[in-house]
Amino acid sequence: MDPLLQVTDLRVSFPGGSGPVHAVNGVSLTLTAGRTLAVLGESGSGKSVTAQAVMGILDVPPARVAGSVTLRGRELLTLSPRDRDRVSGEEIGMVFQDAMAALNPVFTVGDQLTELLRVRRGLSRADARRRAVELLDRVRIPAATDRVKDYPHQFSGGMRQRVMIALAIALEPAVLIADEPTTALDVTVQAQVMELIAEIQRDSGMALLLITHDLGVVAEVADDVAVMYAGRIVERGTVEQIFDGPAHPYTEGLLASMPRVDRTDEQLYAIPGAPPNPARLPSGCPFHLRCHRVTDECRTTLPALEALPAGRASACHHRTEVLHATQR
């Protein structure tokens, strides 16, 4: 299928006391209609900044954004702020990880939905109110006719996230970005929220960009996976390829750290060390300080994201060796 959203060589930096902080370093992604791309990685890997740059909600300046983001072939980064806001609001929706911070606490959820519909769709107050109730009902909020009058603090965490989803899909976007949509929710509510997003995607055919560090969620809902480390994509493939045999030591470490019912280890594996400071990235491969497969080449030469069989890719000097060792 033709790409719906294409991100090419995206770079984002911020000013810092000792020089620019390079949060995103040449990220390229492709989303197609009806499929879910999960962007996976530790906190600080650049996942959320990538999503915010695609959505167009970074303050520029101080942020500096370069590269290309196209939606149906239309370049977004060169649009005027007004046109970019229109595209981002109507064709790309976003579910933020902290619904309480994203929702306005002094307006009812109904007011926030109706304002969006009146401004963007030109609906009358009465029609917007009816549509707001329909949207709350669509995201399975009980007694939607009554709850539309409630304020965000009157909803539980899971219900607030459902309100966020209602706001994100109100204008029927072609792309939905979900940035850690189940953070701080218990496992049962987490599953319900992800099931709801998947159901809406099936009904609408929209593309989903899922930002997460939860491997269980990725295994459950993703079609394709891009693994990020230090602002770069270090591995890319289908969810089956990634889980059946990672081709990068970082992905290998992430999967090894997952609890599994078929493991008899007394202690979970943990990747040693911590992610590098984006203001002072090491020479060579950014992961070499934590990698058990490190060689002298890794310490001096930055590996490119290169193709492997079956359409996958890995940014590791020893990609073929790692793949052969991990496939099962």
Name which residue leads in pLDDT, 82 or 299. Answer: 299
- Given a cut of 80, whether residue 91 has pLDDT beyond it is yes
- Given a cut of 70, whether residue 261 has pLDDT beyond it is no
Instruction: Please report the pLDDT score of residue 286 as a whole number.
Output: 94
For 181-212, b/e burial (b = at least 16 CB within 10 A) is bbbebeeebbebbbebbeebbeeeebbbbbbb
Instruction: Please report the pLDDT score of residue 263 as a whole number.
Output: 64
- Given a cut of 90, whether residue 175 has pLDDT beyond it is yes
* Burial of 247 (C-beta count, 10 Å sphere; 0-12/13-18/19+): buried
Name which of 72-76, 88-92, 172-176 the model is least confident about.
88-92
Instruction: Please report the pLDDT score of residue 264 as a whole number.
Output: 66
- Given a cut of 70, whether residue 265 has pLDDT beyond it is no
State whether the Cα torsion 304-310-312-314 is positive or negative: negative
* Burial of 286 (C-beta count, 10 Å sphere; 0-12/13-18/19+): buried
Tell me the average pLDDT of the chain.
89
Name which of 7-16, 85-94, 101-110, 226-235 the model is least confident about.
85-94
Nearest to 60 by CA among 69, 323, 204: 69
Domains for the chain: give ranges and CATH numbers.
5-222 (3.40.50.300), 246-326 (no CATH)
Instruction: Please report the pLDDT score of residue 258 as a whole number.
Output: 80
Instruction: Please report the pLDDT score of residue 20 as a whole number.
Output: 86
- Given a cut of 80, whether residue 268 has pLDDT beyond it is no
Cα distance between residue 139 and residue 200, in whole Å: 9
pTM (2 d.p.) = 0.90
- Given a cut of 90, whether residue 59 has pLDDT beyond it is no
- Given a cut of 70, whether residue 228 has pLDDT beyond it is yes
Instruction: Please report the pLDDT score of residue 126 as a whole number.
Output: 94
- Given a cut of 80, whether residue 328 has pLDDT beyond it is no
Instruction: Please report the pLDDT score of residue 98 as a whole number.
Output: 81
- Write the pLDDT tens digit of every residue in 189-200: 888 888 888 889
> For a pLDDT cut of 70, what percent of the chain falls above it?
97
Name which of 24-33, 78-87, 262-271 the model is least confident about.
262-271
Instruction: Please report the pLDDT score of residue 262 as a whole number.
Output: 64
Q: What share of the chain is helix, strand, coil (3-state, %, to 5)?
A: 40, 20, 40
